[in-house]
Amino acid sequence: MRLPSNPWLRTAYARLWVRAKSIYGEPLWVAVNIGFPFFTSFSLTMVYRAYGLNSFTGFAILGGVMISFWGNVLWSMASQFNWDKQVGLFEIYISSPAPISAILVGMSLGGILGTAPSAAMVALLGWAIFHPPINAVWPAVISVFALTLASLYAMGMALSSLYLAYGREADSVNEALHEPVSLISGVYFPSTGGLSPFPLAVQAGASLIPLTLGMDALRRTLFFGQGFGEFYLDLELLALAVMGVALLFASSKALKFLENKGRRTGTIAVRQR
């Protein structure tokens, strides 16, 4: 593919290509990546089904799809710069003229492309095995899905700058974050709105996470037949868009701040703390 000699675009494309190639160049990675989301989704779908709650089985399958992306955001976006720093790659990034924002965007797009096959497999297997009841407004589903991913990966970019400041605790923080965020975001059940069992304060706090709004909006469009023009759905779409832009801005500022601080103190390429 030929790109105009715009360094930002060429950098983003290069980073996207590396990430996508790492998945598609080794198709076994799809089988590897599908393990956790599929089995978790399968088990929780079975919970709904074994106890006679068939109408909710789609929630757990959708959760399995979205947890693939959330895992990718945490492990391949948020902590990526930290790992890059450990192996000396971050030093090359900052000493080259490649814009960091382009690297992050390329990493995100590559991450989405790389996660898509395993997420699609979870969806297809879940649909084939359980036949969940669906009442979808597809244009709205596609828009919500795209906006959720954009917002989620923007959060990954913001977290990546935060993790850059961390040392070896990054992995432990990641492990500690994965489940609690899945819980309060309502990946497998509605954590906000009328069906949520959580107190209002918890729901309000959870709504600050893009995954929460995205999951709720996806459930509305996929299972409850809501489309554009529904007040709450439109509100969630707007909030997702605002969050995406704000997180992009925050990640850019935070990275710049850390880069400048690292240059001043001479610690930007220090590999272990």
Q: Is 83 in the site for other proteins (CB under 8 A)?
A: no
Q: Which DSSP string corresponds to 143-211? A: HHHHHHHHHHHHHHHHHHHHHHT--THHHHHHHHHHHHHHHHHTSSS--SSTT--S-HHHHHHHTTSHH
CA-to-CA dists, residue 157 to 4, 13, 269, angstroms? 25, 17, 19
Pick from 131, 168, 263, 271 the residue near other proteins by CB under 8 A.
168
- As measured in angstroms, the least distance from the Cβ of 101 to other proteins is 29
Distance separating alpha carbons of residues 208 and 110, to the nearest angstrom: 26
Residue (38 or 153) nearer to other proteins, CB: 38
Contact mark string toward other proteins, 169..188, x via CB under 8 A:
x--xx-xx-xxx-xx---xx
Q: Count residues binding other proteins (CB under 8 A).
A: 42
Rg for the chain, CA atoms, rounded: 19
Q: According to the binding rule CB under 8 A, does residue 199 interact with other proteins? A: yes
**Residue 38 CA from chain centroid, whole number:** 17
Identify the H or E element spanning 90: helix 89-95
Tell me: does residue 189 bind other proteins (CB under 8 A).
yes
In the bound state with other proteins, the residue whose beta carbon lies nearer, of 175 and 253, is 175
Site string for other proteins, 23-62 (x = CB under 8 A): -----x---xx-xx-xxx-xxx-xxxxxxxx-xx---x--
Tokens of 188: 């497998």
Footprint on this chain of other proteins (rule: CB under 8 A): 28, 32-33, 35-36, 38-40, 42-44, 46-53, 55-56, 60, 168-169, 172-173, 175-176, 178-180, 182-183, 187-190, 195-199
